[in-house]
Every structure is written in structure tokens, then in C-alpha cells.
């Protein structure tokens, strides 16, 4: 009798998985219908902001790198023993 109970649980799990998967995709579809998608001009504007800010930070970090390289190079050449 105990074996029959275990067999029923094993058979029920795939059915439960299929039902929960179907419910999940139904919920995803319902939520995607509620999404407010940005307009093309909003996407272009925010993309431009991202590209410009990336370039600004890249130039800033490049400047910091050059400054620290020159500073450490100066310190090591000024205070080296040879």
C-alpha cells in the first residue's frame, strides 16, 4: 500500500510541473501586456546620455591614469639611489 502512495506522488509531480509552468507563462504574458514601453525618441535620448557619460568617465580615468603614472615615475626617478 505504501508503494502505491509513492507511485502516485511521482506521477503527480510532472502534472504539477506542467500546470505551474503553464501558469508561469500566463502570468508573464499578462505582466508584459502591462509594461509601458519607451518611445523611440526616449531610447535614442537615453542611449546618447549613456554613450556621452561613458566617454566622459573614460577621459577622466585616462587623465587620472596619466597623472598617477607621471607622479610615480617622477617620485621613483627623483628619489632613486642611482
pLDDT tens-place string over residues 7-38: 566 556 767 888 888 999 999 999 999 999 99
pTM above 0.85, yes or no: no
Q: Give the per-residue pLDDT at 11.
A: 57
Q: Alpha-carbon distance 7 to 1, whole Å?
A: 10
Q: Give the per-residue pLDDT at 64.
A: 98
Which residues have a Cβ under 8 Å from the Cβ of 47 and sit 6 or more positions away?
Answer: none
Cell for 79?
628619489
Structure confidence by residue, pLDDT tens digits, 36-58: 999 999 999 999 999 999 999 99
Q: Alpha-carbon distance 80 to 20, whole Å?
A: 71
Query: Cα-Cα-Cα-Cα dihedral of 25, 31, 32, 36, to 10°?
Result: -170
Within 1-82, residue ranges assigned H as helices are: 2-34, 40-78
Amino acid at each position: 500500500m505504501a508503494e502505491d502512495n509513492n507511485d502516485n506522488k511521482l506521477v503527480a509531480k510532472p502534472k504539477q510541473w506542467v500546470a505551474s509552468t503553464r501558469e508561469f507563462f500566463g502570468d508573464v504574458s499578462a505582466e508584459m501586456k502591462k509594461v509601458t514601453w519607451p518611445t523611440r525618441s526616449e531610447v535614442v535620448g537615453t542611449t546618447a546620455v549613456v554613450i556621452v557619460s561613458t566617454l566622459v568617465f573614460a577621459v577622466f580615468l585616462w587623465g587620472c591614469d596619466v597623472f598617477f603614472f607621471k607622479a610615480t615615475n617622477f617620485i621613483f626617478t627623483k628619489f632613486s639611489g642611482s
